[in-house]
Amino acid sequence: MDLSADIGTALRDVLAREGVEASLIETHISWVVLAGEWAYKIKKPVRYDFLDFSTPAKRRHFCEEEVRLNRRFAPGLYVGVVPVTRSAAGLTPGGRGEVVDYAVKMRRFPQEALLSEIAAAGDFADGMADAIAAALAAAHREARRAPAGSRFGSPAEIASWADENLGELAAHVTGEKRREALRRIDAWTRAAEDRLAVGFAARREEGFIRECHGDLHLRNIAWLDDGPVFFDCIEFNESLRWIDVMSEVAFVVMDLEDRGLVAPARRFLDRYLAAGGDYGGLAVLRYYLVYRAMVRAKVAVLREEEGGLSREEDAALWREYDTYLALARRFTGAGSPRLVVLHGLAGAGKSTLAAALVEAAGAVRVRSDVERKRLFGLGAGKPSGSPVEGGIYSAAANEATYGRMAACAAAIVRAGWTAVADATFLRRADRERFRDLAGDLGVEMVLVDVTAPMEVLEDRVAAREAAGTGPSEAGVEVLRHQEEMREPLAGWELERRVGVDSTRPLDADALARRAGCAGGPFALPG
């Protein structure tokens, strides 16, 4: 038997009468009843272009899919599927009697554990961005990949979802100002789809279309046991789940930016890219940032269209729509990227400075210590046991490492982000390579020379070596070798030099201004 009434409210009321502390959360496609230590998620009997929950059989199927798919991320949260039954006493989850619908049964966690709540309280910490990036990179490594010939991730498939989304908005948005702003986003999106068609196809061929979460934003991430737990992935439409991993990254970045967490958004992106090395994905990231903002704009409109709202609630949803539209508009504007090359001995503080530029300038860094180990199949924190100028630090390995860094930096700059090349750059030939790369890219190269007294460098390197953390393997022996073999800056290098004494407090914003990259990757279009 189908139940067209508000089953979520009815179930909450029955549980409350039985003495169970129960509350209800409602979205445009589901009810979630929080009762004691459990949560019951019931799908509304609705049908949209992108999902069909119109019959009990379909709702049961998608409940089962929801449990199966979410156990990839949160096996401890998803208990199973239970029937919602009706008896003389009313509705009961997992009870006896006539089955009227189905629910996903989950272990309940405090609402204040949601990252959306943590962010709203002003408690979003730097380490959270790092942890989300690491968890998402790991999930993407393990995710199934779409076959090269699959329809998932094709240029036509990608364009169809954005175009359908914008088409739905065009049918509902009124007011000339709003309609004109939407037309601009539509025009930008269609131009981007034409420009990126070859790149979209290449991403599929290279294996970046994977079975992802599909709806990853801060309301679908909980901070449990000192780490992020992803939940509530998309089960109702596989096309919205089999996506470019950069589309998923874009959702997190967009949501952080929307909440005013700009530095954490930049930090998350940088850490994700470092974990997986997908710097080429930046070429499509801007498109997906706009797409994700407009998806959230559509969700606001759909909620408004459901009706039953007060005038204040209706106005709030349209303000939410306007906010997402403005955010999408900002994402369409490209900044003025630079190629920032760091120079200095081991222990000078280059990586600390590079990390600061990520947050202050929206730059993306490429670290020689990380890319070197990636080339040789080693994790960033795994020691290689190589001698000085041997193993992964041989002349050939150095050449390959700087070549890899140049390729990554080029991908970053071409996509509109400032690239920070974090390496010693003690050889003039390596500095000249990046000078020539900047010329080929048509951007300015800035050489940031990071210095500190030798005794300070030795103390720092010795402490780092003793701690055994981080990707660098440079100890005191390596530092002294670097001091002996480095080729000093001269000529054009001194003209482009920005000096930083790392024994002094770092003003990252001031450094970004000196390096000419303070504007960030997004510039408001005219």
Which CATH number fits the domain that encloses residue 97?
Answer: 3.30.200
**The pLDDT of residue 57 is above 50:** yes
Cα–Cα distance, 386 to 401 (Å, whole number): 15
CB 453 within 8 A of CB 351: no
Does 161 reside within a domain?
A: yes
Domain residues for the domain of 429 are: 339-514
Residues 315 and 451 in one domain: no
What's the whole-number average pLDDT of the chain? 93
**The pLDDT of residue 314 is above 90:** no
CB 21 within 8 A of CB 36: yes
Number of domains, the chain: 3
Q: What is the pLDDT of residues 163-196, one digit of tens each?
A: 999 999 999 999 999 999 999 999 999 999 999 9
Place of tokens 């997986």: 276
For residue 2, the model assigns a pLDDT of 42
**The pLDDT of residue 18 is above 70:** no
Residues 128 and 82 in one domain: no
Residue 385 — pLDDT band, cuts 50, 70, 90?
confident
For residue 68, the model assigns a pLDDT of 98
Does 29 reside within a domain?
A: yes
Residues 173 and 196 in one domain: yes
Residues 504 and 370 in one domain: yes
Residues 218 and 245 in one domain: yes
**The pLDDT of residue 316 is above 70:** yes
Cα–Cα distance, 366 to 279 (Å, whole number): 9
Does 200 reside within a domain?
A: yes
Does 104 reside within a domain?
A: yes
Does 521 reside within a domain?
A: no
Model confidence, pTM? 0.93
Does 525 reside within a domain?
A: no
**The pLDDT of residue 412 is above 80:** yes
Does 479 reside within a domain?
A: yes
Residues 56 and 11 in one domain: yes
CA distances from 520 to 324, 333, 493 (A): 19, 11, 25
Question: Cβ neighbours of residue 274 under 8 Å, at least 6 residues apart?
Answer: 365, 367, 370, 380
Residues 163 and 250 in one domain: yes
Residues 246 and 143 in one domain: yes
Residues 210 and 306 in one domain: yes
For residue 431, the model assigns a pLDDT of 98
Q: What is the pLDDT of residues 503-523, one digit of tens each?
A: 999 999 999 999 999 888 997
Residues 462 and 502 in one domain: yes
Residues 205 and 301 in one domain: yes
Residues 477 and 455 in one domain: yes
